[in-house]
Structure 1
Amino acid sequence: MRIYRLAFFFVCFFFVQVKGQDLPVNPVLLKGEWPATWITCPGVPQRDYGVYHFRKTFSLEKKPGRFVIHVSADNRYRLFVNGVAVLSGPARGDKFNWYFETIDIGSFLKPGKNVIAAKVWNMGVHAAVAQMSDQTAFVVQGDTKNEEQVNTNGDYKVMVNEAYKPCSLDNGQRLEAYMVIGPGDQVDGTKYPWGWEQADYDDRKWKNAAGIVHPVTSGYGTDNIWTLSPRNIPHMEERMQRFAVVRRTDGIKVGDDFLKGKQPLTIAAHSKVSILLDQSFNTVAYPELLVSGGAGAKLTLSYTEALVDKDKEKGDRNEIEGKTVIGNYDIFEPDGGKNRLFRPLWFRTYRYVQMDIVTKNEALVLSDFYGKYTGYPFKQRATFSSNDASLKDLWEVSWRTARLCAGETYFDCPYYEQLQYEGDTRIQALISLYVAADDRLMRKAMLDFLNSRVPEGLTQGRYPSNRVQVIPPYSLFWVSMVYDYWMHRADDAFVKDFMPGIKGVLDWYEDRIDVRQNMLGPMKWWNFVDYTDVFKGGVPDGATDGNSAVITLQYIYTLQQAAKLYAYFGKSAEADHYKALAAKLGEATYKQCFVESKNAMANTPEQKKFSQHAGIMALLADVIPKEKEASVMQTLLHDESLGQATFYFRFYLIQAMKKIGMGDLYYAELKPWRDMLKVGLTTFAEKPEPARSDCHAWSASPSYDFLSTICGINPALPGFRTVEIKPALGELTEVNATMLHPDGEIALQLKRKGKNGVEGMVTLPRSLKGKFIWQGKELILKGGTQQILMASK
């Protein structure tokens, strides 16, 4: 029954979170100071590591039909109403945009005594780099007078949960990798206040909370610690996800019924056992372990994307023989009580989980162990199929990769960093638009980077982040992201707000033009382009000391996009200036860096080193003469002496193919992704083997390219007001796809006719018009369903 109740509570939790975020906020609360107070635990270091419990009991004469509250905390919280977990947050932002959640808890309340309770934690110096913070704090504000009895103030009770301490603090050293997601949790069950979230818990020995300051919202206040903003994305999804199989045991046998939640597993007293569980695919989830008994036992849960051999190489991810688990871990020490639930404070990333258990004088009963999958609640709205059944796996793995890299922000990778970088995010945002038809996380990301700007005018390379990292080329990709949004969504007022920030980025670059060469001169910060072996630290030749063709060409590409934005918003002088500047830089860069004998762009005017990246950006920036574009692309694809792009920058290789009308080559360029599947990857990796991260957002591009390149569905005018469908089937003979446009569904079913023709059907929303292009021929499209029948040119 206990397991059933947990499952039922989870269903309620998921429903309320999704529904609650759609609730409006009382306008009065958006215009200044709240009546509630930010509260904290008195007598503790306010910026140090700590886990705290806040609660308040209150009485109601009858069950309310509506009871809306607004909640936030620093660093994070999990809210309970009468023992039921109903809300988590806040969505990560910064102190100028500290988000609060809104929820209607009316359905969880009852006549008589009720309790609202929250677990609040501050990771202190151990916090994830993505976590901004000031001090430990918690706030609840009722939406109207009817709910103000739960406002946070000195009536709230609080305690320090001394059961918690951080562990797994040496992940970076053990994994020999950059890992900044925060600590693991070590929980001593003998010190845990079991039942603290229930209404009948005795909190008389708890302290009264200490007030800090009244909250204020954006645009108000004179001495703000946190400036509150309403959460602008949905609440995260949570759903049950059971392990697929036991791959290895030591000291015990484990049956399938345990994994299914049908049969508990007993670990005898004075035992030492190990159990390796395989989810069968990479995932992000809150592991939940339900135990009874086992006083004095120690359970260590270790999480990894793949096992490693003696040389710390991963190899085939499906293989475990001779391999061990090295990864992030949690420790739980039961107190011997019944139905003790261990759940870490933050989610974990894993394909494999190893349970290492040592018992003492009492047997330990594992009643159940499973994961609660979590992440941004994207729904797959698009479909894709073809005559090549193997593309189904690429489509699914690409989408899984994108999903695991999306939470309260986009993540570069869920296991190691959970940081939102412009380079990854631009690709992720396009996937979100095409596959999920959901622009909310993209909008938040655009705002996050706008809010990250440093005094020089550049955005930070990743944000939110409690450490400053500036990557100038990523600021250019942020401009490209604004351009993408403008092309795909009719939302002029939102886009216009980014124009001053765009100018700041472009001005920074313009100030660094080497006027003698008409290329970019020396540049500060980390000018990362791609983790290819030919760029030291990802930085191309000339970036630091001057005259990098790669980054100059990216700047030209961005100037051209910015010129279109400025022209659209009536800023003709700025548009003309950026177009002229792009043309001048492009002419000079081509003249100094294009080598006729090699038919390729050099990385610098010295013409000593070459890369695919320089040629890719030259094609995207319209620097290569039209008559040479096809031959330059062939050189890029077949001259192995060029520095090779990794999975990330191959996105731009495909963009260049599509731009110059050679998208048919894309299908043949899927080999790197097919190769990842051959080594057992269930998400796409950061770079070619050996890879640090087995799940990296910038490698998820097939989800977008199957629709945008193979099917050729793209906006022809800003706001997706018209559509261009220019299929690039390559060797495929049949494709079928659907995707959501803001006005409705776009659908196509196409088959090759003869050697070079095509036939099929295209359906557009009634209000949408466009054109279908096949081998140079155009067919006008209108709203509704129309037949396609086109011979080759």
Structure 2
Amino acid sequence: MSSFTQVNNTDSTDKLWKANWISLPGIEANEYGVYYFRKNIELNLPPESFPIHVSADNRYKLYVNEKLVSLGPARGDLLHWNYETVDLAPYLHLGKNVVAAQVWNEGEYRAEGHLSLKTAFILQGGTTESEVLNTNETWKCIQDNSYSPLPVQMQTFYVAGPGEKVTMASHLKNWKTVSCDETEWKASQALFPGLPKNILGFPGVLDSWLLVPSSLPQMELKEQRLQKLRQAEGISVPSTFPITQTRITIPSNKTVSLLLDQTFLTNAYPTLVLSGGKDGIIAIGYQEALFSEYPEKGNRNEVIGKTLIGRVDSIISDGSEKQVFTTLNYRTYRYLQLKITTKESPLVLDDIYGTFTGYPFQFNAKLESDNPELQKMMEIGWRSARLCAMETYMDCPYYEQLQYIGDGRIQALVSLYNSGDDRLLRNALNQMYYSQQPEGVTASRHPSVTPQYISTFSLWYIAMLHDYMMYGGDNEFVKDKLQSTRNVLEFFKRYQAEDGSLRDVPYWTFTDWVDAEGWGEGIPPMGKDGCSSSLDLQLLWAYQVAASLEHNLGLEELAADYTKKAEQLKKTIKAKYWDEKKQLFADRIEKDLFSQHASILAILTGTVSSEEAKDMAQKIVSDSTLAPASIYFKFYLHQALTKAGFGNDYLSWLGKWRENMDMGLTTWAETSEVNDTRSDCHAWGSSPNIEFFRIILGIDSDAPGFSKVKIEPHLGGLKEIGGEMPHPNGKIKVKYSHSENSLRATIDLPVNTSGVFVWDGKTYELKSGNNSLKLYE
């Protein structure tokens, strides 16, 4: 576990910094390169406190006396460039100390989520004493020319950064030690002072980064040994490798291959320690799964006859003892393959291991059930959520590492239901808020070098903000963003026909990954009038949640206006898309194509009565001709079926998750086509981690801020089950004992929290503290 001493950012936010951004003289603005910056300081006494603020473009790792104390900066954009605040006191001692930073920019190869202006580093002391470390010309710097990029070659969309080629003969060593020889080091070039975003008198010309204090903690770091050797070619390997440190000698003029299995997917910094083997080449490949024939993967546990295709690092040995290679950025892998080719001298592989990293979420929920399948799904869902959470939420850790709203809404609810930590959720809402364009649409993902606009995701932004109003603990935060939701709806208003239907909406109108007639690139079928029921229904839902936001936190007049627009649109949808013969909503006005999606959204928006919803729900699950919801949109399918009265059937809806487990996945796949899905880890599949609590245990918010709780369990055939989950005021705990005609329920609500319990159509009041109910059907 990381032990960084991060402190609150309370100063240096409203005045020009005394520290300057510094760079290596003569380098290009943001070309590929790895650089080191360092400064020695003498201390007469070990300080009790020594806070500093630190940032870089593009990435940095900060060391004090050879110990890693911070890495970052947390992803942002040029108008909101994060800096971290760290207390260096625990790492400093009497006498000579060295503070050193590794700063790198992967240039044109860098990950899509890493924005850049120019390569630079900055450190500002947080007190008079620590200002001795302010970056300026007194800092020494040098480039490490041993690094070069290895672009990833894959037949799919990949934007998560290159591999690294490192020639150890020119690799700089001892650069973070006090005794480092600085003869070849240069004085840093001071560019300009650090500029906080809210500084008074800012001239408004953006030729720098506008600095803001990071609201996030440092990422977790924890050593993680690789678990198994699955294949060894060209060499015999001891059984202790790789789970324990085991020295392996590869003879001269030899080529060997070792396939290692973490046994589960992970995000980690791999570290390789090697000795000897001058000019020998070690290639390290990483992948979520092996391919039988691209893009087919088959069962993820099987390796025979399969190959690894993906990101690769390459190290060329200099022949010395205990050479250490650790990647600049983390790698995502279950399988790690070493291909080693030696030259005239043998090479010793001293060790290989990983250091897990991720947002430091703590699992603060509990599901008490003797059903091992539920526990396994919880474990996989939580791993998926964690691997898709770093300095932002991410759609997937291997291929994109981008924060999308559609994914983020589900990820945020997993965070709240399983952890209660809302900092990454708030960060996501802030970044989507920053991405909004003058016309009202938000970016679909942010930060991103290449802006992308999925207009429908702007509607899910409103829903995500509404979620935080209902489940989070800071309504003022939500209130500050109400204008952005109004701007979104004003954008869509421009593309509404007289009857309220959306027509010719620009940008990508992605709804779900569906392989069916009329669907293409996730866009639902459009009618001859240019309209789609799924798009109209998404807008209807946005009006409804926006009305709720305005009613609780904003303007009643707008709430009334949105409600009026929603009712008009509801009538239009019913008139245009309802098919009397099929008793379902069609995808378009021609009523020739049908999907689960239209009827799902119709149920969730209350476009149909409860009786109609019940009939539709039965058709949704029984009619195999309907275009099906993917693992992503099943989040909405399950809500609709539950609302229609079928929540007791919940366990029968989890076939896609069971298929994932049967295929050996340890995280949830991106799409429903498990065999050849691109990504093996998409946290939008972690919706059961919400549903086990919201559907089975029945715990839901019934008022803004979760101030009131509604508990309506759907136990199906489960006899004994219980659990607990975080709440802004503490924890909610429930326990049920269910027989054929009775229910015993014990419910503990946090202080200042009341609620209701719903069972068999009847409602019972709940108070703070312990509530015990014995009910008969």
Q: Give the TM-score taking structure 2 as reference length.
A: 0.97
Distance 1:346 1:415 in 2: 12
Greater alpha carbon shift after TM alignment, 465-474 vs 537-546 = 537-546
Deviation per CA, 1:740-772: give whole Å up to 9, x if none: 11111211111212x243113111123221111
Deviation per CA, 1:151-176: give whole Å up to 9, x if none: 00011111111000000x1433xxx1
Distance 2:171 2:529 in 1: 57
Structure 1 residue 214 and structure 2 residue 193: aligned?
Answer: yes
Contact preservation (8 Å) 1:667, 1:731: no
SS at match of 2:421: coil
Distance 1:570 1:289 in 2: 56
Distance 1:678 1:89 in 2: 38
Q: CA RMSD in A?
A: 1.3
Distance 1:312 1:661 in 2: 40
Structure 1 residue 329 and structure 2 residue 308: aligned?
Answer: no
Distance 1:394 1:714 in 2: 21
Contact preservation (8 Å) 2:527, 2:589: no
Distance 2:753 2:553 in 1: 23
Structure 1 residue 715 and structure 2 residue 701: aligned?
Answer: yes
Greater alpha carbon shift after TM alignment, 669-678 vs 259-268 = 259-268
How far off its partner does 1:247 sit? 0.3
1:789 corresponds to which residue?
774
Question: For 2:669, which of 685, 695, 710 is the aligned residue?
Answer: 685
**Count of aligned pairs:** 769
Question: For 1:251, which of 231, 234, 238 is the aligned residue?
Answer: 234
2:180 corresponds to which residue?
201
Question: Which AA in structure 2 matches 1:546?
Answer: G
Alignment of 1:357-756 (within 5 A): 357-515=340-498, 517-534=499-516, 535-542=519-526, 546-689=530-673, 690-753=676-739, 755-756=740-741
2:754 corresponds to which residue?
769
1:108 corresponds to which residue?
91
Alignment of 1:123-134 (within 5 A): 123-134=106-117
Contact preservation (8 Å) 1:26, 1:144: no
Contact preservation (8 Å) 1:70, 1:143: yes
Distance 2:293 2:82 in 1: 45
Question: Which AA in structure 2 matches 1:698?
Answer: W
Structure 1 residue 307 and structure 2 residue 254: aligned?
Answer: no
Distance 2:554 2:417 in 1: 29
Deviation per CA, 1:270-313: give whole Å up to 9, x if none: 11100000011111111111112121111000001111113541
Distance 1:136 1:544 in 2: 51
Q: Which runs of 5+ in 1 are unaligned?
A: 1-10
How far off its partner does 1:571 sit? 0.6
Distance 1:147 1:397 in 2: 44
1:139 corresponds to which residue?
122
Structure 1 residue 239 and structure 2 residue 222: aligned?
Answer: yes
Distance 1:387 1:600 in 2: 39
Deviation per CA, 1:338-390: give whole Å up to 9, x if none: 22111111111111000000111222111111110100000100011324221
SS at match of 1:349: strand
Greater alpha carbon shift after TM alignment, 421-430 vs 260-269 = 260-269
Deviation per CA, 1:415-464: give whole Å up to 9, x if none: 10000000000000000001011100000000010001122111100010
| 1:355–1:545 CA distance, 2 compared to 1 (3 A) | farther
Alignment of 1:149-298 (within 5 A): 149-167=132-150, 169-172=151-154, 176-220=155-199, 221-222=202-203, 223-224=205-206, 225-298=208-281
1:317 corresponds to which residue?
300
How far off its partner does 1:125 sit? 0.8
Deviation per CA, 1:505-554: give whole Å up to 9, x if none: 01111111111x43111111011011110220000112897211101101
Contact preservation (8 Å) 1:489, 1:742: yes
| 1:603–1:768 CA distance, 2 compared to 1 (3 A) | same
Distance 1:63 1:428 in 2: 43
Q: Which runs of 5+ in 2 are unaligned?
A: none
Distance 1:119 1:389 in 2: 46
Distance 1:664 1:300 in 2: 52
SS at match of 2:116: coil
Distance 2:84 2:637 in 1: 41
How far off its partner does 1:263 sit? 2.5
Distance 1:518 1:570 in 2: 24
Question: Which AA in structure 1 matches 2:508?
Answer: W
How far off its partner does 1:182 sit? 0.7
Distance 1:25 1:734 in 2: 47
2:104 corresponds to which residue?
121
Contact preservation (8 Å) 1:387, 1:732: no
Question: Which AA in structure 2 matches 1:769?
Answer: S
Deviation per CA, 1:603-634: give whole Å up to 9, x if none: 11111111101111111111112321100011
SS at match of 2:17: coil
Distance 2:554 2:488 in 1: 20
Distance 1:564 1:325 in 2: 50
Distance 1:345 1:520 in 2: 46
Q: Give the TM-score taking structure 1 as reference length.
A: 0.95
SS at match of 2:654: helix
Distance 2:171 2:56 in 1: 21
Deviation per CA, 1:82-108: give whole Å up to 9, x if none: 111111000000001100001111111
1:3 corresponds to which residue?
none
SS at match of 2:272: strand
Dislocated runs of 4+, deviation >4 Å? none
Distance 2:641 2:238 in 1: 52
SS at match of 2:141: strand
1:7 corresponds to which residue?
none
Question: Which AA in structure 1 matches 2:770?
Answer: T
Greater alpha carbon shift after TM alignment, 311-320 vs 235-244 = 311-320
Question: Which AA in structure 1 matches 2:563?
Answer: K
1:5 corresponds to which residue?
none
Distance 2:741 2:188 in 1: 75
Distance 1:579 1:25 in 2: 41
Distance 1:528 1:544 in 2: 19
Contact preservation (8 Å) 1:317, 1:681: yes
Contact preservation (8 Å) 1:269, 1:361: yes
Contact preservation (8 Å) 1:766, 1:783: yes
1:37 corresponds to which residue?
20
Structure 1 residue 15 and structure 2 residue 3: aligned?
Answer: yes
Contact preservation (8 Å) 1:50, 1:124: yes
How far off its partner does 1:414 sit? 0.5
Deviation per CA, 1:555-577: give whole Å up to 9, x if none: 10111110011111241111111
Distance 2:294 2:633 in 1: 29
